[in-house]
Structures are given as structure tokens and as C-alpha cells.
Structure 1
Amino acid sequence: MDKRNTDIALTQYLESKRAKPQFRPAPTAGMAVNRVMRPLSKGRGGGSSALALGKVWPDIMGPRWSKISSPVRFVGSKDGHTLIISAPGPAAALIMAASRPIIERLNAHLGEGHVTKLRVVQSKMTATQSAVPKRGLSPREAEQLQDSLSQVKQSGLKQALEKLGRGVMLDRKP
């Protein structure tokens, strides 16, 4: 047999013995939804975990309460999820008093009926959360600071040194 006839015979043999391609079912609807929802949820902290919720916490709680509270975890039940929030003592009671609007905002973000209850766990207040204002300098201290800066001629330098001096003197106070 010549080469051409051998190639034809080999091709006919392979075509008759070749297997059919594997049947692959159509992708599920969940896969299609996932392809659409993933890009949309990237900027919104997508997911229903407490960690993912931390990204949008200021939007949900507002600037006042988001500084002193944080989501801890979700506890699931048959009726819905309970969100556990950590907040310092007095704020915990106020957050519980405003729980209905908070649950509504959570469900607007996570989906209707996702959160049914809030539970606030009291935590210690950190130094950044405490709103104790620093008192200013006494008139005598301010006068001493101005006297020590009287030799400085440049106004920009004088203002910077005064600001630094006030900061140092306030930090030394109990």
C-alpha cells in the first residue's frame, strides 16, 4: 500500500472507533446569578458574614454609632438570624432602643427577613471611643507660652511653635 491509501485507511478506522464527546449539562441558574452578582457586590462588602458587614457598618449604623459599635457574628435560628453587636455600656442600651430601624437597614442591605433580632453585648470603651475633651491652657500658662515665643520674628514659625507648645503642655496635664 502506498502512503496515501494508508492515510485514508487510518483515517476511516479512527473515525469509526472514535468516542462521542462527553455530555455536559447546561450550567445551573445559580452559576449564572453568581456571575452577575459577584461584580455588583464587590464594592458593597458582599456577603452576610459579620466581617463583610463591617465594610458597610457606617452606612447601616450612621456615623455616631458606627464609631463605638461593631458587628460580632450572626446566630442563626428557624425564625431568622440574630446579629450580635459589641458596644460600650451606655451605648448598648441606646442601640437596643433603636433596634427596629437598625434591623430595617440591615435587611435592606442583606435581604428581606435576614436579620430578625439584635443582641448587644457590652464591651469596654477604648481610648479612641471616649469623648472626654481636653481642657485648654490656663491664662497663666498661655501667657508663659506667649512670653517664651516673643523673640520669634517669623509669624509662620511662631504659630507652629505655639501649636507645638500647647500640645506638649496639654499632654503633660493629668
Structure 2
Amino acid sequence: MSDNTNPKVNRGPRSIGALIASVIAPVCAKRGFATADLISSWADIVGPRYATTTMPEKITWPRRDQAKAPSGATLVIRVDSGMAIYLQHETGVILDRINGFLGFGAVSQLKIVQGVVATPRKATVAPAPLSKADEARVVDTVASVESEGLRQALERLGRGVYGASRRS
């Protein structure tokens, strides 16, 4: 009977989440997050209005030796400049959502930092194919434009307009 207690022994396939967690954990810990759950669920927590214009940066926990330390942590949120004022007005609601997600009143303050929030690029939808009649109409409409670049841009616009009208 073999007693194999070596933790590095491959015990079969593992989920990608289990593998990524070991890589992400040190980065999250450095920024004050216990796990990556808050970051990965951010869009669900703040809702569609702030999902693409805000991003949690770090959590600052109060020091134990401070006499008048706040009761909870401070969450630093990066916000696109145009949305910062709106987020500031909804600080109470956002705090309630964050603490509701965490299950307890861990975060007592939000610190809003204005800056560019990198959002994942959305896949572009290919325009719908045009009928030969619509294609001919677009080309005939812009045929009198002398500038080659402008004519091509107007053709693309015309194809987009006709394609959008066919989709809806």
C-alpha cells in the first residue's frame, strides 16, 4: 500500500477557477481584497449605470492601534470623470449594495478617485448583408462625391443604415 502525501501529485483534471485563484490571490491580498469575488461581481453590485464607468481599486482597513478608527474599511473606487458626481450622490446606496454582497458591514466609506476606467471591448456586430438593390442604391447615391475617402466613408455609413433598418 502506498501512502502518497505529496501535494504536487497530479490528481486529475482541475477547474480553471481553482488554478486561477492561486494566481489572483496574492494580487487581491496586496490591494486589501480577501478574495476576487467583489471585483468579479462588481457589475452586478453597482448595476448597469456604473458597471462600465467604475472599478474597485483597493480596500484600506483601519489600523488596530488607532483610537478613533472608523468601524469599517474604506473602498477606493476609480470612476470616469463624468460619472464621479453621480456616484458621489449615490454613495449610501452603493455602500448598502457592497455590504449586502459581502454579508456584513465591512465597508463604511467610499473614496472616489477620478481616472480612466479600462473597460473590456465589446465584440462588434457585423452589418447585415444588403440586397443587391440596396447596395446599388447606396453606391448610386454617393457616386457623385469626388473625394475617394469621403465616398468610401459614406458608402460604409449607407450600408450601416440600410443594414440597421433590416435588423429592426
Give TM-score, length-normalised by structure 1: 0.46
Structure with the higher fraction of residues in helix conformation: 1
Q: Which has the larger radius of gyration?
A: 1
Q: Which has the higher contact order (CA 8 A, sep 6+)?
A: 2
